[in-house]
Amino acid sequence: MEDDILTIEEVAKYLRVSERTVYDWAQKGEIPSGKIGTVWRFKKSEIEKWVNERLSSGTKPVTQNLQVQVKNILSPDRIIFLNHSTKRDALVELANNLATAPQVKNASELTVEILKREDLMSTAIGRGIAIPHVRLSSVTDLVMSVGICKNDIIDFQAIDDTPVRILVMIAASYNQHAYYLQTLSFISSKLKDKELREGLLNAQTPMEAYNLLTK
């Protein structure tokens, strides 16, 4: 199963991007792929590794002309303290919080798709961080919630086996592909800062955490 061979259509569905985007990535050599005759094919295991490497390394997407401002996509009321030991419970509570944002028009769809995305592949990127993310037509603009867990969540299957303590959930509109990728890259890069991570874990109030994330 690990070396399932995927078509462009299957990779597009798996990554939730357009088939044209996958084709362009393959043509430019930006995604692991190979040709059988004139047809592009992809190994599922290599695609999973590619996604995790992009998130954990903070690799910037090709489009660079969009500015990520945390204060534009996060508010103090969307920073919550969690007390769960399983990723499902943590994801559901954080999705419920994110659904309070006016940009999210369908709360139940958000929760379902976040859990479905997590079933496809863990969004834990190491260093105790997970960045669950989806693009949905029912979301009008990119928005974010942050969950700070007071105990370890050990079933995230992180790439470095470190239990997750900080969750950043991102939902975007389906047509915000470039901004979505840039935000994922920006957040994963920002959270590489050990001092920031420790500050978030020691924060006593949502506003304290918000100030750390926006400064």
Whole-model pTM: value is: 0.71
Within its chain, how far is the Cα of 99 from the centroid?
Answer: 16
Nearest-angstrom CA–CA distance, 164 and 161: 9
pLDDT digit string (tens) for 187-208? Answer: 988 999 999 999 999 999 999 9
| For residues 168-182, average pLDDT | 88
**CA max distance for the chain:** 59
Q: Is 69 a residue whose pLDDT tops 50?
A: yes
Q: Strand, helix or coil at 25?
A: helix
Domains of the chain: 5-57 (1.10.1660), 70-214 (3.40.930.10)
pLDDT digit string (tens) for 105-127? Answer: 999 999 999 999 898 888 998 99
Residue 160: how many other CB atoms lie within 10 Å? 10
Residue indicated by tokens 């992809």: 42
Nearest-angstrom CA–CA distance, 22 and 109: 25
